[in-house]
Amino acid sequence: MNKKINIAIIIGLALIIGGLLYWNLSQRSELNEIVEQMAIEKEELQEEYEDLAIQFDGYQQMDIRNDSLQDLLSREQQRVQDLLEELRVTKATNARRIAELKKELATVRAVMKDYVRQVDSLSATNRRLTVENQQVREENQQVRTRNEQLTQANTQLTETVTRASMLEITSCTLTTLNKHDRKTRIARSIRKLQFDYVLAKNITCTPGWKDLYARVIDPQGNVLGENEEKLFPFENTEIPYSLVQQIEYTGEAYDGTCYCPLGENEEVLQGFYSIDFFCDGNLIGSFPFQIRK
């Protein structure tokens, strides 16, 4: 009898122990599943933080042009980095802190949405201003172009008026004279050059007394009669002349004669010469001529 009781007790204890072992294994299995799930949640939360950090980097590289908003983004970016570092060192089994970090993530996302809205609004404003500035630049360029064209047209008109009002010598003939003011063709006997010229009619030219300068250039490029006292202004400098004559111009055609006497030591060379006439600061005529043997 006692033996049967003992066997029953042993079987009962074995069943209890077996049941406890089964329950323990079941609990351990469930616990492992919970730990694995928490590790997965931590990994997913870490990925979300990393994605958010990348988004902040992207906005920081944009040309926001707003110092206050830039500072706010920098602070939130640093906050995300700090939370991410904390999450990396937090154990997956620390469910309470993991939950808190989840809430922090939701808060940062909400703040991020507001900043994104501000950045997008600012970017749209900047794009609009950029377009407007481009339009203003193009309009200013068009105005400058028109002004340049008007200036060029005015300059051309001024030049046209200036040219129209310039005197012009249309013809000039040379007569070579000896020391007795008689015509001669012998080069060694020439002591004076006589130039007969015609000033064209020009009613736009201001009438009055005018100084007519002439430069006679010999075959070697020398100005006949050149000396330091015989200079006249031309194109912001002073150049030598051979002769000067004062004439009274009325606007009608004018026939004139001028003379270029040769100095005692000036030798008449054979070859091509030229005479240039100047008046009112302008070159008004240029003519070549030749002296032979």
Instruction: Tell me the C-alpha distance between 125 and 141, whole Å.
Output: 24
CATH code, 198: 2.60.40.10
Alpha-carbon separation of residue 250 from 200, 208, 282, 285 (angstroms): 11, 6, 18, 19
Q: Which of 197, 203, 214, 206 is nearest to 260 (CA)?
A: 214
Is 154 domain-assigned? no
If asked whether residues 174 and 111 sit together in one domain, one would say: no
Q: Model confidence over 168-225: pLDDT tens digits?
A: 999 999 999 999 999 998 888 999 999 999 999 998 888 999 999 999 999 999 999 8
**Of 73, 102, 127, at which residue does a domain stop?**
127
Q: Which of 138, 133, 121 is nearest to 65 (CA)?
A: 121
pLDDT band at 47 (very low <50, low <70, confident <90, very high): confident
If asked whether residues 108 and 7 sit together in one domain, one would say: yes
Is 227 domain-assigned? yes
Is 158 domain-assigned? no
Is 39 domain-assigned? yes
Q: What count of Cα atoms within 13 Å lies in the side-chain half-sphere of residue 282? A: 14
Residue 278 neighbours by CB under 8 Å, 6+ apart:
212, 213, 214, 215, 232, 234, 241, 284
If asked whether residues 117 and 193 sit together in one domain, one would say: no
If asked whether residues 108 and 209 sit together in one domain, one would say: no
pLDDT of 272 higher than 90 = yes
Is 141 domain-assigned? no
Angle at 86 between CA 82 and CA 89, to 5 degrees: 145
pLDDT of 73 higher than 90 = no
Encoding tokens for residue 30? 């469930």
**Of 127, 151, 181, at which residue does a domain stop?**
127
pLDDT band at 273 (very low <50, low <70, confident <90, very high): very high
Which of the two residues, 229 and 60, has the higher pLDDT score? Answer: 229
If asked whether residues 42 and 109 sit together in one domain, one would say: yes
**Of 101, 127, 153, at which residue does a domain stop?**
127
Is 163 domain-assigned? no
Q: What count of Cα atoms within 13 Å lies in the side-chain half-sphere of residue 217? A: 13
Is 52 domain-assigned? yes
Alpha-helical runs (H) found in the chain: 2-60, 67-89, 95-165
Look at the alpha carbons of 34, 37, 41, 43 in this order and tell me if their dihedral is positive or negative: positive
pTM: 0.48
What are φ and ψ of residue 216, in 5° steps?
-100, 120
If asked whether residues 93 and 182 sit together in one domain, one would say: no
Give the domain extent around 257: 169-291
If asked whether residues 173 and 115 sit together in one domain, one would say: no
If asked whether residues 201 and 116 sit together in one domain, one would say: no
If asked whether residues 175 and 104 sit together in one domain, one would say: no
pLDDT of 159 higher than 60 = no
- Please state the domain count of the chain: 2
Q: Which of 196, 214, 205, 210 is nearest to 285 (CA)?
A: 214
Among 25-39, 82-96, 102-116, 257-271, the range of highest mean pLDDT: 257-271
Q: What count of Cα atoms within 13 Å lies in the side-chain half-sphere of residue 276? A: 15
Is 140 domain-assigned? no
If asked whether residues 180 and 285 sit together in one domain, one would say: yes
If asked whether residues 94 and 38 sit together in one domain, one would say: yes
